[in-house]
Amino acid sequence: MAEIKERGGEAVVNYDSVTTTEGGENIVKTCVDNFGKIDILVNNAGILRDRMIFNMSPEEWDTVIKVHLYGAFNCTKPAVTLMREQRSGRIINITSPTALGGVPGQSNYGTAKAGVLGFTRVLSRELGRYGITVNAFCPIAATRMTETFGHGATRRMPQPEDIAAIVAFLASDAAADINGQTISCTGGQIALYTPNPTIVRSINKDGRWTVEELLRIMPSTIAADLVNPSPPQPSADS
């Protein structure tokens, strides 16, 4: 906050938790009380509780889901109530490469961030008619969150200031026709992802398929050339 004020801007702080309905409402209220309205919401709250699924506790699962996915809902609902009345607004939901490609040890985080993608696509259809755009931003950069949990490689990654400009752009009037999209930034590269999963190949017949037919046909059609991203490895005892 001090840095914003030093550069001539205005800022206030709110310490409520995004994991609760009341917390989300209070965060939005803090904005409206101090600035008169809310035009932009960036759902950026995040934590990590990395663990392989067979070692993950229910608490580690719940905590991450609540911060990322519940947090997006808890802040978005009170914000869009006001944005809908003023018929304008920008919502930017932060997702992650883990949701797009999968990272071992992050099933809780990847699930939450994949949920954010679905949340974004649905809301873009619901809210676009009111002049509200909803997009997902996939940053690839080192942060306090990643370094706290020992992701040492992140120290060689772009820094937050290297990717912040795209968020500011998506919040601007120039982005009025960008809605329901997923955009990533890795320092100098900005990329647009397909808005929805696309069908790569298909097989068709009249009526239902039988297991016997699929056993015969699938390996040379739908499953042809598919590669297991994590093939079985010899056990330590073998």
Domain of 117 in residue numbering reads as: 2-192
Distances (CA, A) of 210 to 87, 199, 200, 213, 234: 51, 22, 22, 5, 34
- Determine, yes or no, domain membership for 217: no
- What predicted TM-score, i.e. pTM, was given to this entire model? 0.87
- Whole-angstrom Cα distance, residue 119 to residue 113? 10
Q: Which of these, 109, 122, 106, 12, lies nearest to 67 by C-alpha position?
A: 109
- Determine, yes or no, domain membership for 111: yes
- Using pLDDT thresholds of 50, 70 and 90, give the confidence band for residue 152: very low
109 is a catalytic site residue: yes
- Determine, yes or no, domain membership for 201: no
CATH of the domain at 27: 3.40.50.720
The answer to whether 11 and 2 have CB atoms below 8 angstroms apart is no
- Determine, yes or no, domain membership for 90: yes
Catalytic residue chosen out of the listed positions 15, 70, 109, 193? 109
The full DSSP string for 22-82 is HHHHHHHHHHHHHHSS--EEEE-------B-TTT--HHHHHHHHIIIIIHHHHHHHHHHHH
Domain count, the chain: 1
21-68 pLDDT tens trace: 999 999 999 999 999 999 999 999 999 999 999 999 999 999 999 999
- Determine, yes or no, domain membership for 67: yes
- Determine, yes or no, domain membership for 159: yes
- Determine, yes or no, domain membership for 141: yes
- Whole-angstrom Cα distance, residue 96 to residue 184? 9
79-114 pLDDT tens trace: 999 999 999 999 999 999 999 888 899 999 999 999
190-199 pLDDT tens trace: 999 988 878 8
- Determine, yes or no, domain membership for 199: no
Kindly report which listed range (1-10, 56-65, 211-220) carries the lowest average pLDDT score. Answer: 1-10
